[in-house]
Amino acid sequence: MRRPDAQTMFLWAVLGGGALFLGYLTLFHHPGHAGNQATRVASRKSPVQGRRSFGYLEAVCALGPRFSGSEGMRRQQTLLSEHFEQLGGRVRKQTFTARHPLDGTPVEMSNLIVEFHPDRAKRILLCAHYDTRPFPDRDPRRPRGRFIGANDGGSGVAVLMELAHHLGSLDRGFGVDLVFFDGEELVYDDRQGTYFLGSEHFAREYVANPPPYRYEAAVLLDMVGDAQLQLYQERNSLSWPDSRPIVDEVWGTAKRMGVIEFIARPKHEIRDDHLPLHEIGRIPAIDIIDFDYPRSSAVSYWHTEADVPAKCSGDSLFKVGAVVLEWLRTTKLGTP
Ligand SMILES: [Zn+2]
């Protein structure tokens, strides 16, 4: 995922006065991290397992770097295919070729699509990118070091692996597809990279060759494992009239469950895989993302070698999984 573009940053500079005021509100209304209490509240209602979710995060990270076209990515595809088939999902790969950003050579990419209840014509899309950035290029010491992408690349995958345990028994009017996007960030330089190759390909295929089903909603999970979890509402998701009801439902679900890490206020505007889904695929789409993963000059885990499982927690993965599952069980979207 990438930061807001310069134009947006300028707009926010102009609106600085308002931002300062919001900052003031944030200071006095921040809910803090009463994590354990919220876990107890939510766990009474949810079969989602935090410890197992964290085990999945560790297993995926143990494969090493998983950038597009790498050996780690191939091993991850095998691991995920076996995992989801065991849990009753129907797995297929959507393969395409992209040009390598450095030398133009072809890179084979695959989105992985896992269907639960494929017979149902109304569907909900839960997705995450599963490639990792090739290098930790924001690392102050070793920008050409080893990037594991625990939060950025691993956390969304881990939550979806856990949710798969609970989707076969989901008795709603819609089916669920889990989609793992390749090529989200085969990017070597922030200033000139092409992002979202997998989600863009997926959205173009959905429009060019319409399947016999429709996606009622898409929920993207990105950077949802930070041990200090703070999930503000993402501004693009809120700005789209067809997508805003999903934001309201998801954050409303979290509130009912007492999961205070879902903070029902906008903060960041993020360009992420939900953009192609919405702009090209015309699918109502939201991004659940914690963009407050430490990234100051003094302490930064984002796109650095410090993005490792120890900076994440099973508690955070549990909370996101529990809220999303409860949302699936109660949403009014996609129901007759
Ligand atoms: Zn990233």
**C-alpha of residue 293 to centroid of ligand 1, in Å:** 11
Structural element, H or E, at residue 263: strand 262-266
1-28: per-residue pLDDT in tens? Answer: 666 554 444 444 444 444 444 443 333 3
**C-alpha of residue 223 to centroid of ligand 1, in Å:** 8
Partnered with residue 108 across adjacent β-strands are: 97
The CA distance from 266 to 263, in Å, is 8
Q: Quick one: residue 288, left, alpha or beta (phi over 0 = left, psi -120 to 50 = alpha)?
A: beta
Would you call 271 exposed, middle or buried from its count of C-beta atoms within 10 A (0-12, 13-18, 19+)? Answer: middle
**C-alpha of residue 182 to centroid of ligand 1, in Å:** 12
Q: Is residue 111 domain-resident?
A: yes
Q: Is residue 166 domain-resident?
A: yes
95-122: per-residue pLDDT in tens? Answer: 999 999 999 999 999 999 999 999 999 9
Q: Is residue 8 domain-resident?
A: no
**C-alpha of residue 257 to centroid of ligand 1, in Å:** 29
Q: Is residue 19 domain-resident?
A: no
pLDDT value, residue 26: 36
pLDDT value, residue 31: 35
The CA distance from 68 to 102, in Å, is 13
**C-alpha of residue 303 to centroid of ligand 1, in Å:** 6
Q: Is residue 25 domain-resident?
A: no
- For residue 71, the domain's CATH number is 3.40.630.10
164-220: per-residue pLDDT in tens? Answer: 999 999 999 999 999 999 999 999 987 778 899 999 999 999 999 999 999 999 999
* CA geometry: angle 63, 80, 219, nearest 5 deg: 110
**C-alpha of residue 113 to centroid of ligand 1, in Å:** 21
Q: Is the pLDDT confidence value at 30 over 50?
A: no
- Joined tokens for residue 111: 């989105």
Taking the alpha carbons of 153, 297, 27, 314 in that order, is the dihedral positive or negative?
positive
Query: Between these two residues, 248 and 189, which has the higher pLDDT value?
Result: 248
**C-alpha of residue 41 to centroid of ligand 1, in Å:** 32
**Domain interval for residue 283:** 30-330
Evaluate whether 229 touches 316 at the Cβ level (below 8 Å): yes
Global confidence as pTM: 0.89
Query: Between these two residues, 29 and 2, which has the higher pLDDT value?
Result: 2
Q: What are phi and psi of 14, to 5 degrees?
A: -60, -40
Q: Could you tell me the pLDDT band of residue 73, with boundaries at 50, 70 and 90?
A: very high
Q: Is residue 43 domain-resident?
A: yes
pLDDT value, residue 29: 34
pLDDT value, residue 216: 97
pLDDT value, residue 300: 87
pLDDT value, residue 25: 36
The type of residue at 287 is D
Burial of 103-117, coded b for 16+ CB within 10 Å and e otherwise, reads eeeebebbbbbbbbb
- Joined tokens for residue 334: 């996609």
Q: Is residue 153 domain-resident?
A: yes
The count of domains in the chain is 1
Strands 175-181 and 122-129: parallel
The CA distance from 66 to 9, in Å, is 31
Structural element, H or E, at residue 125: strand 122-129
Q: Is residue 77 domain-resident?
A: yes
Q: Is the pLDDT confidence value at 141 over 90?
A: yes
Question: Which residue matches tokens 């134009």?
Answer: 7
